[in-house]
Structures are given as structure tokens and as C-alpha cells.
Amino acid sequence: MLGGAVVLWLVVNGAFYYMSSVRPGAVDKRYARHILIGGGIILPVFVLTALLVWGLSILPDPRRPGDGLVVRVTGEQWWWRVEYWPEGADTPVVSANEIRLPVGQRTEIHLTSDKVIHSFWIPALGGKMDMFPGRDTMISLLPERAGTYRGQCAEFCGASHAWMAFAAVALEPAEFDAWLEAEAADAVAPQDEAAQRGQEVFLNEGCGACHAVRGTPAVGLVGPDLSHVGSRKTLGAGRSSMTLQNLEAWIAHTEDLKPEVKMPSYDLTGTDLADLAHYLNGLK
């Protein structure tokens, strides 16, 4: 991309420099006609036809059937409810706010929405696809290189539309399978005393009314599943990176960080807040 841009820049500016400084003045009529016909008609016809043929050939790609794995994504205000349905699965692996895909395999992403129209877009992997309440749409993606890409809601969906993003992580197939197995498991038990206290804060504050942490009494469905929240790259659907400090800020200042979000800012401070953040960060 950058190389092409540099070449174009050099050609255009070189031609301009040549015409204005090296050979100023009128040119031969026949020479001018060649330039016009060659550069204005023949060259664009060849280039654009080639591009059109190539473009039409890849146009059906996002609609091609996948190689087995289906990822079901529901747009919420303003986050992503994610379910992985490996081929033949009866129950999904429930996750949120991050899409992981195996490299070299085409994965079907089935899209729908809760209340308003959103649009699912990972620019590095493919085009946009709108998500409608009460209707299913599909886009299939084939990541070619492992890496982390940014995904973003591309349809205005309310106050925090700009903060509705996610990380798309392409993993080598073996790595992906291992990750999916871990994601399917229940949340790990608190690893130390602080995490234990953090879990108590989580349950006492009623967080489980909206959030599920599988393997604990927290079974809520309103907000993102937090069973493995600590293993995600981002926090608050792409709002910030997953660090202890950001977790504390998110819990105490949710409404400032994401205007009109359903989750209220929690009036927690000191050890309670630190332990809770520590517990969540430990849910790898």
C-alpha cells in the first residue's frame, strides 16, 4: 500500500516537474495526442478492467460458507455478545467483546442485534455487515496472518457508538483450539486472598445480577460474560486496555467512560475496589 502510494506520488510529481521546469513551453501536437489517448483512455481501461475483474472475483468471498466454526455476534448498546459454535456443538462457548478466529480457515460470523442497528466491521479482515434487531445477517472471514486487529461498530447506534469496538485476534489453528477449550471452561477459582475478597465484593454488590462468571452464583445475562474477562485484550468493549488500573477506573466511573451505558458507576473505593479489580483481572 505504502509502496504504491510512493510510486504514484513520484510519477505525478515527476511529470509535473518535467512539464513545468525541464521542458516548459508548447509540445508537438502528435505527441500531445499520444499522451491523451494513451494515458487518458487506454491505460485507465486496462487498469480499471483488471481491477474490476479482480474485484468481482473476490466479491462473493464474504458470503462463502465457512469451514465449520460459526461465531454468533449480537450487537448490544454498546458491546458485543459473542458465542462460538464449533461444528456439531449443542451449546455455545459464551464470551464477549473480543472475536478470536483461526488463521487459514473461513469462519462464518452470524450477526444480529438487540435493540438498534449496529454494523460489524474489522477493516483488516473484510467489509462491514449491518446487524439488525430480529434479523440475521452473515459475513465470513478468512484471516491470513496471525495478529490482533481492531473491530469497530460502523453504524451510529447511540451515545457511546464511538466506544463500541473490540479486538479481533487471529490465532494459528492449534493455538485457537487450545484457547477455545480454555474459554469453554468455568472461571478459575480465586487464586489468592485478595482475589477471594474481590469475589466476595463481586457477589455482595450484586454484580452477578447482570454478569455471569461461570462456576459461581453469578449467572446474569444482561451484561458481558466475565468468566474469562482477564484474558481479553480490552475492557469495556474496546474502551481501554485490560489493566488493573483501568479495571478500577471502569468500575468506579463507568458512566463517565461510556456515556449512557446501562452499568452504573459503582461507589467503591480503596481495598474493595482494588480487590475486585484484582479478582476480575485474574479471571484468565
DSSP category for residue 132: B
Nearer to another protein, 101 or 207 (CB): 207
Which of 74, 277, 94 lies closest to 186 in space, CA to CA? Answer: 94
Q: What is the contact mask toward another protein in residues 241 to 280, using x (rule: CB under 8 A)?
A: ---------------------xxx----------------
Instruction: Find how far residue 17's CA is from the centre of its chain.
Output: 44
Nearer to another protein, 12 or 209 (CB): 209
Figure out which of the listed residues 67, 114, 130, 175 binds another protein, where binding follows CB under 8 A. Answer: 114
DSSP category for residue 172: -
Shortest distance, position 76 Cβ to another protein, whole Å: 8
Interaction between residue 207 and another protein (CB under 8 A): yes
| Residue 267 DSSP SS3 | coil
- Distances from the Cα of 73 to the Cα of 42, 80, 100, angstroms: 46, 6, 12
Shortest distance, position 97 Cβ to another protein, whole Å: 16
Shortest distance, position 265 Cβ to another protein, whole Å: 8
Nearer to another protein, 86 or 220 (CB): 220
Nearer to another protein, 104 or 220 (CB): 220
Nearer to another protein, 81 or 278 (CB): 81
Nearer to another protein, 79 or 176 (CB): 79
- The C-alpha angle with vertex 199 and arms to 197 and 201, in degrees rounded to 5, equals 70
Which of 250, 257, 255, 258 lies closest to 277 in space, CA to CA? Answer: 250
Shortest distance, position 192 Cβ to another protein, whole Å: 23
Residue 152's identity, in one-letter code, is: Q
R_g of the chain computed on alpha carbons: 25
Figure out which of the listed residues 7, 11, 47, 221 binds another protein, where binding follows CB under 8 A. Answer: 221
Residue 107's DSSP bridge partners are 141
Interaction between residue 194 and another protein (CB under 8 A): no
Figure out which of the listed residues 203, 214, 233, 240 binds another protein, where binding follows CB under 8 A. Answer: 203
| Segment contacting another protein by CB under 8 A, of 9-17, 27-35, 99-107, 201-209 | 201-209
How long a stretch of residues is the chain?
284
Figure out which of the listed residues 205, 214, 233, 252 binds another protein, where binding follows CB under 8 A. Answer: 205
CB contact set of 194 (below 8 Å; sequence gap of 6+): 274, 275, 278, 279
Q: CB burial class (10 A; 0-12, 13-18, 19+) of residue 43?
A: exposed
Interaction between residue 134 and another protein (CB under 8 A): no
Q: Are 97 and 232 in contact (CB under 8 A)?
A: yes
Figure out which of the listed residues 82, 93, 218, 249 binds another protein, where binding follows CB under 8 A. Answer: 218
Q: Which residues bind another protein (CB under 8 A)?
A: 114, 203-210, 217-222, 262-264
